[in-house]
Chain A
Amino acid sequence: MGRFVVDHLNAFYKDKQALYDVSLEFPEKTVTAIIGPSGCGKSTLIRCLNRLHEVTPRARHSGTISLDGREIHEMDAVRLRRRVGMVFQKPNPFPTMTVYENVAAGLKLEGGHPKNEIDQEVYRSLKQAALWEEVKSNLDGPGVGLSGGQQQRLCIARALAVSPEVLLMDEPCSALDPIATAKIEDLIFDLRKNYTVVIVTHNMQQAARVAEYTAFMYMGKLVEFDLTEKLFESPKEKLTESYITGRFG
């Protein structure tokens, strides 16, 4: 569960085209990294996967995306987003909610969960996000009172609490220091046992550390997609090689 197939995807903001004919497949229960210079369409691509792209005014797309064989634009967007969680570039916990409430937010939205079940899910998610030990005595404290790295793990826990199949991460470490980054990377490595993870990153070392597959994008086009090892060690495309050797980007 959690296999995305993107087929001939074009995406636009107003009249500006952000993605050109992108086709690739995200295998289930693996970590796939998307790398590339700023503005190359990485974020747009993963925002298409949970249909957040279409929320932007005057954004549109063509082509198809299917999740486990079903075209996502024929599904209910709300239901899709419960199956496909997202973590953003800047940690964005709800400032009016406590740590506990933040994690429980998705379950509250779903409704119909008894209190003890929510308690359990909050515990499981915080545990999975490697945050439980740090916040267990402070569940009723404000979510925004945590440090930046903790806030980001809180957001990961919040996304995990609704038991998605896929977790999209849009540069989740770009606002964090190296120690917090290392914690999140360890966490991503563990998550692939249960989730399909797609991570957008600026940091090529990060891609090499956490991802089994890597896609390299440039100017809205998918240049190369391969096993991470192959892509970094013997890239097929000249463009990929110049990028990963640091000649541009």
Chain B
Amino acid sequence: MGIAPNVGMNPFPGEDAGVPAGPPPHSPVPQLEATPRRERIGRWFNSIFRLLVTVLGFGILALAALFIIVLAQGAWPSLLKFGPNFLSTSTWDPVHSIFGVVPFVIGTLLTSAIALLIAVPVSLGVAIFLTEQSPTWLSGPLGLVVQLLAAVPSVVYGFWGFIVLVPYMRLSVEPGLQGSVGKVPGLGGVFGGTPVGTDILTSSVILAIMIIPTISSVCRDSLLAVPRHQREAALSLGATKWETTNFAVLRYASSGIIGAIILGLGRALGETMAVTMTIGNADVIPKSLFSQGQTIASLIANEFTSAGPGSIYQGAIIEAALVLFAITILVNVIARLLVGRVLRVEGGS
């Protein structure tokens, strides 16, 4: 700016006479007058704005880095003492200061996996009903209710789970499961033990209930985004209602649906309160679905007050937090790769 012999910007062309690239002195003054005020202010504002958003953008990176650094610092005593053994052992003994994170990793992954297993089909069903089957007067209000359910605080779900779901699971569902599928050879172990109500299965069910609204409302949005001409293309080929949904709608929306599932999974992995209130909080590897257990999130919630500052115990809890952080990132990355692959395979648009 200002370096190039830009005559257009110069109201006094006579002064530029010596510049070789400039026009001959007798040439008329070009139409462009001095930069208008609005334009100058705009340019000034533009650079300020760019600086601002750049700072904000890098600020997020800095925050993430700071977060990891502080966690790593806090976890240092534990990192030093246990090294990689922290990730491969399953004793969690604050009294003798021996810590291994395996039970909680298993608890976290297991409850989230079961929750997804329950929640995904239900959510898909809800979303399909809302967008494809429900009469118009019903789909609006019903969709709103689903979205409202996603906003219920987790402690409310947890409390409801503790006073309603836990006894029901203990008295009806779990003995029922033991008496039926538990009898199938090979599955006895999975449904073994005395049903206590506060266990892996119950907290998985609570998690499922919590992520169903999230997954179904995101799924609903991506089904709504399928253009009408896709549905009509299937219908005009002689597809039934269900075939249209399966053929044109679900396939078109598949990446959005996978995104919804990832979102639900992310919520399930990190959910703390409701799980803490229903999982039984036992620091051991669960032996069956009816075992009490612990997720990383519930471990932290349960024990963060009992560990002294700077102690190895506190270090171990902070390291567990780091592990949860890593699991969440890993799951997200894997899921994203999966989405990319699905899209490539299907040659999506």
Interface set of A (CB-CB < 8 Å, partner B): 50, 52, 55, 57-58, 78-79, 81-82, 85-86, 88, 90, 92-98, 105-106, 109-110, 141-142, 144-145, 155, 158-159, 162
Contacts and interface: CB of A to CB of B under 8 A. Distances in A.
B240 A78 contact: yes
A95 B348 contact: yes
B168 to A, nearest CB: 40
12 contacts: A52-B232, A52-B236, A57-B136, A93-B233, A95-B346, A96-B251, A96-B347, A106-B237, A109-B237, A109-B247, A155-B233, A159-B237
Given A95-B252, A141-B347, A52 B235 contact: yes
Nearest to B255: A96
A142 B347 contact: yes
B251 A109 contact: no
Q: Which of B234, B238, B239, B251 has the most CB of A within 10 A?
A: B238
A95 B349 contact: yes
Nearest to B250: A96
Given A96-B346, A109-B247, A81 B252 contact: no
Given A88-B229, A92-B230, A55 B235 contact: yes
A176 B243 CA distance: 30
A159 B240 contact: no
Given A90-B229, A94-B251, A109-B247, A85 B236 contact: yes
B248 interface: yes
A194 B239 CA distance: 23
B187 to A, nearest CB: 35
B347 A98 contact: yes
Given A78-B239, A109-B237, A94 B247 contact: yes
B254 interface: yes
Given A92-B229, A96-B254, A86 B240 contact: no
Interface in B223-270: 227, 229-240, 243, 247-248, 251-252, 254
Given A96-B348, A142-B349, A145-B347, 7 more contacts: A85-B237, A88-B233, A92-B232, A94-B251, A96-B347, A109-B238, A109-B243
Interface residues of B, number: 24
The binding surface of chain A is classed by DSSP as mixed
A82 B234 CA distance: 11
A57 B252 CA distance: 22
B27 to A, nearest CB: 44
Contacts of B235: 52, 55, 81
Nearest to B343: A96
Given A142-B347, A144-B347, A96 B252 contact: yes
A151 B257 CA distance: 26
Contacts of A86: 232, 236
A162 B238 contact: yes
B233 A92 contact: yes
B293 to A, nearest CB: 40
A155 B251 CA distance: 18
Contact of B238 (A88, A95, A106): A106
A57 B240 CA distance: 17
A247 B119 CA distance: 62
B247 to A, nearest CB: 7
B343 to A, nearest CB: 9
Of A92, A96, A159, chain B has the most CB atoms within 10 Å of the CB of A96
B341 to A, nearest CB: 14
B23 to A, nearest CB: 43
B229 A82 contact: no
A109 B252 contact: no
A144 B349 contact: yes
A249 B271 CA distance: 62
Nearest to A140: B347
A78 B238 contact: yes
Contacts of B248: 94
Interface string B337-348: 000000000111
Interface string B201-232: 00000000000000000000000000101111
Contact of A94 (B236, B240, B243, B252): B252
A82 B237 CA distance: 6
B237 A55 contact: no
Nearest to A58: B136
A82 B236 CA distance: 7
Residue among A79, A93, A95, A155 with most chain B CB within 10 A: A95
B347 A94 contact: no
Contacts of B240: 78
Contacts of B232: 52, 55, 86, 88, 92
Contacts of A106: 237-238
